[in-house]
Amino acid sequence: MWNRRSWLPGLVLCAASCTSGPGDTASTGPTVQASGHVEDAVFGNNVPGASVCSVWNECVSSDGDGRFVHPGVPGAAQTHVQVSSEGATPVLAAFETTAAPIELTPVGLSESSFVDSFYFLLDTEREPGTGIVAFRVTGDMGGQVGIRARLQPTASGPHYTNDNGLPETDRFETGRDGGGVFINVQPGTVELEHIGLPEGCQTLLGWGSADRVSVPVEADAVTLVRVGCSPAGR
């Protein structure tokens, strides 16, 4: 895949693959503009030159401030973009569109060596052809503490993360980081259940309600799930 150069202005050719979401329409269907910001997941720095690709294999690049505007994602659909940059593990960011332009919550990229460290820290071998689901629930003061997570179909996890965003084996709910990971997740569509959410939470990245979020998973990529329980939504 990613072997077709689009006619849309400003688009670039990507070297990655992606899968369609349940609501993705054909490439001749309605489109909507999606914009957002690509940042370093650890330090929060801008990531210029990142490729942001729709399920139709059409890609744009983030600018010097890490901003992107994609004019051609499926409208009125459950869809996603794949974000990639040299030296980083590709990331999938899923979202639901209407007929109006959409501004995505910031998408974080991590160096591949940082992602590889998850398996070492968890004393687990990487299973070929699998991906990672990384979830985070935020509140008024940062990460939402005390949330538990379940994934269907099941995978290795949840492994809740410490204050540095690294997974640990001796945690049983989210800490101040508000997040965690499932590793060795088989490709396809999975559902992540959040247990213990306060009222008023909303899905920022993913499809469906905050307590049950569906997302696509691809081999050798990280799928982001983001839920916000505050107006800031980060």
User: 96-135, pLDDT tens digit by residue?
Assistant: 999 999 999 999 999 999 999 999 999 999 999 999 999 9
**Amino acid letter, residue 54:** S
**What is the rounded CA–CA span in Å between residue 69 and residue 228?**
23
Lowest-confidence pick of 15-19, 60-64, 146-150: 15-19
User: 10-55, pLDDT tens digit by residue?
Assistant: 333 333 334 444 544 445 579 999 999 999 999 999 999 999 999 9
Domains and CATH numbers, the chain: 31-109 (2.60.40.1120), 112-228 (2.60.40.1120)
57 in helix, strand or coil?
Answer: coil
What is the reported pLDDT for 27? Answer: 54
Tally: H helices and E strands in the chain: 1, 17
**What is the rounded CA–CA span in Å between residue 164 and residue 139?**
17
Tell me how far apart the terminal alpha carbons of the chain are, to the nearest angstrom.
Answer: 32
**What is the rounded CA–CA span in Å between residue 22 and residue 214?**
10
CB atoms within 10 A of CB 234: 11
What is the reported pLDDT for 231? Answer: 56
